[in-house]
Amino acid sequence: MPMTCTELAWTDCRTTPNADPTMPLYSEAHDRNPQISVPLQVGVVGAGTMGAGIVQVFLGAGDQVVLVDVSAEQLTRARTRIVDGLRRWEAKGQIASAEAALARLSFAGDVHAVAACPWVIEAVAEESGVKRAVFGDLGAVCRPDAILGSNTSSLSITAMGAASGRPERTLGLHFFNPPPLMRLIEIVAGLRTAPEVVEAATALCVRLGKTPVRCKDRPGFLSNRILMPMVNEAFRVLEEGVGEPEALDHVFRLGMNHPMGPLELADLIGLDVCLAILEVLHTELGDPRFRPAPLLRKHVEAGWLGRKTGRGVYTYPARPDDPG
């Protein structure tokens, strides 16, 4: 029987916490990239769902992590999510000790705390102005050889690199939700990103047990350039009354062998995130097919953002924030 959205999002990770145990720990690029030494010092800026998930991935790999957010409340919520995820890994025998992993994590309210980290990953809100401001701050405080990555799912890496003042050391590292479970990372090179930085990022992804896919710096990259028009059309079909949400998602799960339907997936991603990506695609590409569906916009205005708020297209029971 196909899994529901909830079942898929909360299914056990049956490999190691870092995905495929048969995947080599390093790629051939490792020997050329001393910044992939073990353990790494990693800074993550932004303590939302994605930031917390990315932190868990690095802790599972044995790294030291500094998580930065201007909101103390957000950091507290992130700590709870990370602890829950690490304890689930420990209970499954996927890490030796959740407490030992947590001991390698520190929290801060200012980006100066990541100044010594060779890797810094931004995971703040999907808003161009906010992200560019963060990269401006990182460019001012980080060590000269630091590699700056953005978890953006649609925005210009070239623009963030310019804002940092270090375009050669800036690239996209697009983790997928939830990061502890999803194996793919899109590596996005900006116009001025140095080839050796792309190589180092590829080695890092492989070390984490992830599968890196490289793509050019275009709106939506590979994943969301294709996915978001499908999600958008699903909302249009729903608004037109062509079928019920369950019927639409069943078509994709049972007829096309997708693990989730587009409405289930949109709820998992976050309807606010889907709307933000579509607005970027519509603005940057000027194609009316990317214009956000009115029903999608209304859900976001109502605060029905999907799983994270307990209500989106579907209604969800209260559960811990992040799977692991």
- 251-to-3, 69, 279, 303, 312 alpha-carbon distances in Å: 14, 41, 27, 27, 19
Annotation marks residue 71 as catalytic: no
Q: How many CA atoms lie within 13 A of 99 on its CB side?
A: 0
Tell me, yes or no, if 223 is annotated catalytic: no
Whether 301 is catalytic is no
Tokens of 304: 């029905």
Cα torsion at 35, 39, 41, 43 (round to 10°)?
100
224, 232, 282, 299: the catalytic one is: 224
Active site residue 153: yes
Given the residues 90, 122, 126, 186, select the one marked as catalytic. Answer: 186
The active-site residue, picked from 27, 33, 151, 153, is 153
Which of 217, 218, 258 lies closest to 234, judged by CA? 258
Phi, psi dihedral angles at 292 (to 5 degrees): -60, 140
- Give the C-alpha separation, 224 to 280, whole Å: 11
Q: What is the DSSP letter of 216?
A: E
- Catalytic: which of 156, 164, 174, 264? 174
CA 112/CA 275 separation, integer angstroms: 32
Parallel, antiparallel, or unpaired for β 119-122 and 147-150?
A: parallel
What is the set of active-site residues?
153, 174, 186, 224
